[in-house]
Chain A
Amino acid sequence: MIEVQNLTKRYGTFVALDSISFSARQGEILGFLGPNGAGKTTTMRILTGYMPPTEGSAQVAGYDVFDDSLEVRRHVGYLPETVPLYRDMTVRGYLDFLARLRDVPQRKARIDEVLARVGMTDRARSLIRSLSKGMRQRVGLAQAIVHNPDVLILDEPTIGLDPHQVQDVRALIRELGQTRTVMISTHILSEAEQMCDRIVIIDRGRIVAEDTPEQLRARLHRSGRLFVRVGGRAGQNAGQLLGGVPGVTGVEPHADGYLISARPRTDVRAALAAAVVGHGLELLELRPWALTLEEIFLEVTTALDHEPVAGERRHA
């Protein structure tokens, strides 16, 4: 449904996208993560036919974004980062205008259906200018799905919503993603983790990692690392105590505990537990150390000359 090959976008000498490639199939929710200025919005704008790429190709719903731009636009629902609303129009009037431009059949019934899905039925006659930010966001989402598109491209779709609305919108996106291709950009990593089938991390115009949330975590889970939290009057001694356990190669203070590195294929958990308890201390926590998605994100987007992670796609 979305097929991007060596996509490059330059603004003068500035390279906003540097030969990125990725794909998303039908029934998949693709998360697009990256810091500000990474190239997320540029990618989305190219995929929606708003601007052409400098080099490379992109196909959406089987149509080339440059050669068949109008067809692409017919099959895509797009919610830009700044929700595009005509503030002097009513919610229904706004959706009706866009549905007419998109030639939606049985317009009135479809608009009723979409309003119900985003929970705005009771505000259909309200002027958009009188709506709260969360409601405006939902109206923006309604316009993106009013024509029942094959591909949905949503730039920060839950921004500005209250927690209940966030849950509702996430549920809606998950539902929409069952039969369509959905691409969302977000800064909320837990959101990507919860909603997306696959995540692409982009930084400075390059894709630095791409995989499922589980695989990303698993592959960045450092073998042999454990997190240990010790209670009682351990003080500085706990670090020395843990470092002296056979098989332990490194101890690094982390948060309110320690990250323990061990020799490959060596299980030091029992020895660590015995050492702590044997010295009269309390063992509060002992678990394998896995990076959260947030830590993965920071790791792959802050290192200038980072090591490629498993599943990573590098494009020079």
Chain B
Amino acid sequence: MDVIVQAAALLADPYVILVMVAASIYGLAVGSVPGLTATMAVALIIPITFFMDPIPALAAVMSLSAMAIFAGDLPGALLRIPGTPASAAYADEAYAMTRKGQAGLALGVGLVCSSIGGLVGAVVLIAAAPWLARIALQFSSYEKFWLACLGLLAAIAVSQRSWMKGFLSLLLGLTIAQIGLDPVSGLMRFTFGFSDLAGGLGFIPVLIGFFAVPELLRYALGRGPTPTVKSQPARRLFSGVGRELVRQRGGIARGSVIGTVIGSIPGAGADIAAYVSYAVARRLSPRRDRFGTGVPDGIASASAANNSSIGGALVPATVFGIPGDSLTAIIIGVLFLKGLNPGPTVFLVNPELITAVFLAFLLANVMIVPFGFAAIAGFQYVLRVPRSVLMPVILGFCMVGAFAVENTVFAILTMAAMGLVAFVLEENDYPLAPAILGLVIGPMLEENLLLSLTRARGNLFAFVERPVSMGLAIVVIGLCLVPLALFLARRLRHSDGRS
């Protein structure tokens, strides 16, 4: 309890609150522009947070993550253009309500449910993370190795279209992470004599390149969705929302739980949480036949899951240093930058700092309601900024941001090259999230693999001798074998059907 009081005192600084307010406005503005994701918003703000103290920097990242995720609902509901991939799960439903003249109800329900979901995720985070950290302290390099494998596997598992492409994306990320100093021997690898490569490719330039540049290139080609501004003011925003919330209380609770659980699985994230929650709501709703025609049932459950998943994803991110999705991968990067190295020891060394970060997330989810109300009113003005003005400014921000962090033009080259690679990969349906997870987890995986091999003198059975490592190994191997078995069974059924 003392830790929470100390953490709250750290947050009570007017400068921190001011930074949170500014980050919230920025998150709402970016999240509400179609094509600009919460991940991209966080990637773009990192160069600024780089120069801040840890608490305001992390509070800014937390606020803007929560706001940007919610803000994705705005263009989804009013224009049927989801601002974030997670919002796509219920954009059709919300847009159908807008066409029925219920835009205010759709957005109001989404707004309050996002807040409730986020609060549930934050409470779970504050309650469970330190408890899990105590267990995680018992982990040796063997358990950490399997845990890293688990994170990487989950990243591939969510590559819905082709897990092989997800695997290749992951390998690309792991390979990029090999450039620079070897974490165990300290020798140079793949630097080709260039001093700029000695420290490896900068994490932030790579991130900006992966997420922002392909979006800009698609815009240049005329591929991105071009929003048309329609005058659809969300008047009487909260009319009927209270009644609907009471009616949807079960769905909101279910969505919050689903979001927290899915978010806490490394490699999952808000997108999957929202889709799963919407699917479950549809299956369990007495009005399931009317889904898709504009009913708030799916919106309530899915938007709660959307925001609660962030809190869930922060559990493995802070306790084990394993990101739940690309957004938390960036948040882990910020934690590292600020000296709060994710892992169980952070709860011993810096308990008040990490708790302050969690409280900032809690506070951000309270702030969503008033800020969201204002955002809905001002949303049309954001979309009225011509893209021919907005996109060049974003590219300028990306280039200067990449330069600022590394203080070398090589960072701009890294960003540009990675952006082109990411563009080609996305054109061919390769998911990018596994590459980012590979980049983050790569050094941890290699270090624990080599340490374990050295300790065990090459005896591979040592990897499964401890009970926890054996349990994790079973999960990892099971996750590898079950899809393979299902694939073979499907092939057999298919060939039987033919014969």
- Are A and B co-members of a single complex? no
Which residues of A come within 8 Å of B, CB atoms? none
